[in-house]
Amino acid sequence: MKRTRRRAIGLSERHSGIGQCLRGPKRDFKLADVWHKVASGVGRTVRRLNEALLGVPVFVKVMGIALGMAVLLGGGMLWQLHRTWHGHLLRELEQQAQRTVIEAARHCAELARAGLDRDIGAELRHRLEESGDLAWLRLEDADGVVLAEARLEAAVGDGAVYREVTAPLGGSPHRLRAGVSSARVDREVGWLTRRLARTTAIIALVGMVAAWWLTRIFAHPIEELVGLARAVQAGHYQSRAPVRARDEVGELAAAFNEMTEALAQKEMARQQLLRRVIDAGEEERRRIARELHDHTGQALTSQIAALSALENRMEDAAVRARLGELRRHTERMLEEVHNLSVALRPSVLDDVGLTAAVRRHCRVFAERAGIEVDCAEMGLEEQRLPGEAELTLYRVVQEALTNAVRHGRATRVRVMLLGTDTGVLACVQDNGCGFDARQWQRRCLAENRLGLLGIEERVTLLGGTFCVESQPGQGTCVLAEVPRPLSP
């Protein structure tokens, strides 16, 4: 029985020890987990605060620093002056009151030795009125019983008493107690504090105005550089920053001008190279179109004539049917070659002009794609644009129609040519599925769709503007405006 109890006790001790061992690391783990969460929360808060401060404009940052420094310095100076001056005046007040009470105690002792106890009250009132810093005077015995007292009418109770001072009555167990009033010191310190506060406020206001002026001088060139950088991003490489000083901001403006000049030269070289590439491509299109029209078209026409003649002389019905099928197939090939030749370089664009070429292309495209294409023009005079401008607008309409069917799955497209005071505007709007037009250039590069990008480059080379407007489910609108040539 005893062995069983001992074993039970041993097992319980072992289990309790194991439990403590298990509970100990678990408690440490919880504390470490809590500490980690607190540290993570503080770190996130600091990062968010830094991000918020970094997002504030430079002007607000500098003005905030100036305002904070003015408030901290002004407040700290006022607090320190108030604390130091107030304490100094209170110590002087206490010393003066102690001297006054000692002097009054000496006179009261002389009156008491002379048996003039009745004059003690008058002496206390005289001392109280002469001092001006005492709220009351009391002559007390050893047990604290008040023998004589003088009190100012303005001092109600002991509320105006800052500190009590005591002086013994020479040769007597009596003592003279006085309540020191800090009203005068408070008034002087308050007056001085208000004067200092007004002076500090004026100085802070002047400092804020000076800080605002200096900040504007410092921040205005930076704002100009930001605006010019955005202009350069938009393609205005002729932008130049004024260099007003020889400081770091002036050096930054000079470096910015050097950068924009280099970019302008590179952009000019790129445009010249791109223009040559486009001209070479169009010339190659013209050559291939001419080859298709002159050689391949004539060869197919001769083949159709030979098949027709052979079909008329053939008596066998089966052979005649076969020859007719070959002739019709060749005629379709000739039509396809003719359409391909027109798509490569429409001769009607050179002969008649932009409007007729666009109308013909819309009609042929509608027949081939099986969709509805509405074409209209407005404000176009008989004066024609330069050939390069007309060809660019024709390519805009051509590419927009192809994208409307291939990518937008449109069933109806509206083409508008509008003459404006500054140029000619081509607008192609469809009812397709649409897409998110934000950052459409980046999406075209990512998906290797360079048709619209090439059209935009061609329009930009002519000094025009190009825009794509679209939203998912609301169709797409392609806008391109080419400027008119300046009249001589």
pLDDT band at 434 (very low <50, low <70, confident <90, very high): confident
Domain for residue 324, yes or no? yes
The stretch 7-26 carries a mean pLDDT of: 43
The stretch 56-61 carries a mean pLDDT of: 72
- Same structural domain for residues 333 and 358? no
- The pLDDT mean for the chain works out to 78
Point out the domain boundary residue: 298, 322, 345: 345
pLDDT band at 153 (very low <50, low <70, confident <90, very high): low
pLDDT digit string (tens) for 68-109?
Answer: 887 888 788 888 877 888 888 888 888 888 888 888 778 787
Residue-level pLDDT at 25: 45
Residue-level pLDDT at 392: 87
Domain for residue 362, yes or no? yes
| pTM of structure | 0.52
Residue 185 buriedness (CB in 10 A; 0-12 / 13-18 / 19+)? buried
Terminal CA-to-CA distance of the chain, rounded, Å? Answer: 128
Point out the domain boundary residue: 327, 345, 363: 345
Domain for residue 246, yes or no? yes
Give the structural domain span for 90.
Answer: 78-187
- Same structural domain for residues 309 and 358? no
Is residue 488 scored above 70 in pLDDT?
A: no
The stretch 420-443 carries a mean pLDDT of: 84
Residue-level pLDDT at 117: 67
In this structure, the dihedral spanned by the alpha carbons of residues 78, 79, 80 and 85, taken in order and rounded to 10 degrees, is: 80
pLDDT digit string (tens) for 167-183?
Answer: 787 767 788 888 888 78
Domain for residue 377, yes or no? yes
- Specify the number of domains making up the chain: 4
Residue-level pLDDT at 161: 65
pLDDT digit string (tens) for 288-313?
Answer: 877 777 778 778 888 888 888 887 88
**CA distance linking residue 240 with residue 257, whole number of Å:** 6
Is residue 354 scored above 90 in pLDDT?
A: no
Domain for residue 382, yes or no? yes
The stretch 432-460 carries a mean pLDDT of: 79
